[in-house]
C-alpha cells in the first residue's frame, strides 16, 4: 500500500523551485494509472526531479528505481526510503558476473524485485541507460526495460526526456546552478508481439531522444 510522507509535498515544491522544473505532457496526460516512466540519465537528481514534477496524486503511487550504493545510506537513504519510496537495485546488475548464467540469474532476480515493488497499483521511474551520461547523447539502453515490459504487458511505458539537469548539477558538483530544467513526457509505448529485444530497446531510446528539443528540430 502506498503511503505519502508528510514531507513529500514540501520536498517536491523545493526541488521544483531549485531546478525550475517544467513538465510538458506532449503524448499523454498525467494520470494516476500504473506506468513505467523511463528517461535519460545525466544527474543524481534525475529521479528526484522527475518524481517532483508529477502531480501529487500520481507521485503518491510512483516509486523511483535507485542505485543502492549511492542512495541507500545516511540522509540520502532516509529520504530515498521514507519520502520517495525508492526501489534499490545494485548498479550494473549482472554485468560483473563471472559467467553468463550468473548474469542472467541476477538480472532475472532484479526484474522480479521490481515487479514485486510495483504490485497492482504503483508505477516506476526507470533509467535504462544504467549509468549517468553527458547530457549530450543518450547511451544504448540496457535490457532491463525490455524484460520488465515483457512481464508487465498491461503497464504503459512512458518515455521522458530530461533537459538541462546535467548543467544544473554537473558531475562532481554539490551546489545546483540556477537554470530551467524541462521534462517532456511522450506517448506511451509497449513491446510489440514478437518484437526482438534489440529492436525494442532502440525504439524506446529513439522515443526519448525524439522528445528533446534537438530531436524535435
Structural domain boundaries in the chain:
8-212
CATH code matching the domain that covers 8-212, chosen among 3.40.1130.10, 3.20.20.30, 3.40.50.300, 3.30.420.40: 3.40.1130.10
CA-based nearest residue to 9, from 77, 58, 73? 58
The H-assigned helical ranges of 40-161 are 46-53, 56-59, 68-71, 74-78, 100-118, 144-151
Helix (H, G, I), strand (E, B) or coil at 87: strand
DSSP state of 88: E
67 pLDDT more than 80:
yes
Mean pLDDT of 39-58: 90
- pLDDT grade for 187, boundaries at 50, 70 and 90: very high
Q: Cβ distance 65 to 125 under 8 Å?
A: yes
As a whole-number percent, the residues of the chain with pLDDT over 90 amount to 58
Q: Cβ distance 157 to 149 under 8 Å?
A: yes
Instruction: Output the pTM of the full model.
Output: 0.87
pLDDT digits (tens, 9 = 90+) for 99-130: 677 777 888 899 999 999 999 999 999 999 98
Amino acid at each position: 500500500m502506498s503511503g505519502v510522507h508528510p514531507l513529500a509535498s514540501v520536498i517536491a515544491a523545493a526541488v521544483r523551485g531549485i531546478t525550475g522544473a517544467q513538465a510538458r505532457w506532449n503524448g499523454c496526460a498525467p494520470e494516476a494509472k500504473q506506468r513505467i516512466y523511463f528517461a535519460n540519465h545525466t544527474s543524481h537528481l534525475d529521479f528526484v526531479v522527475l518524481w517532483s514534477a508529477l502531480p501529487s496524486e500520481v507521485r503518491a503511487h510512483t516509486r523511483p528505481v535507485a542505485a543502492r550504493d549511492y542512495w541507500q545510506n545516511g540522509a540520502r537513504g532516509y529520504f530515498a526510503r521514507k519520502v520517495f519510496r525508492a526501489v534499490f537495485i545494485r548498479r550494473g546488475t549482472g554485468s560483473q558476473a563471472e559467467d553468463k548464467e550468473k548474469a542472467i540469474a541476477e538480472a532475472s532476480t532484479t526484474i522480479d524485485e521490481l515487479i514485486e515493488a510495483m504490485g497492482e497499483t504503483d508505477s516506476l521511474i526507470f533509467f535504462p541507460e544504467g549509468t549517468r551520461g553527458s547530457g549530450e547523447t543518450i547511451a544504448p539502453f540496457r535490457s532491463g526495460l525490455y524484460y520488465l515490459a515483457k512481464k508487465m504487458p498491461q503497464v504503459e511505458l512512458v518515455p521522458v526526456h530530461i533537459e538541462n539537469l546535467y548543467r544544473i548539477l554537473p558531475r562532481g558538483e554539490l551546489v545546483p546552478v540556477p537554470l530551467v530544467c524541462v521534462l517532456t513526457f511522450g506517448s506511451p509505448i509497449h513491446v510489440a508481439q514478437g518484437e526482438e529485444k534489440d529492436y525494442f530497446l532502440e525504439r524506446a531510446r529513439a522515443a526519448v531522444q525524439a522528445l528533446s528539443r534537438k530531436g524535435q528540430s
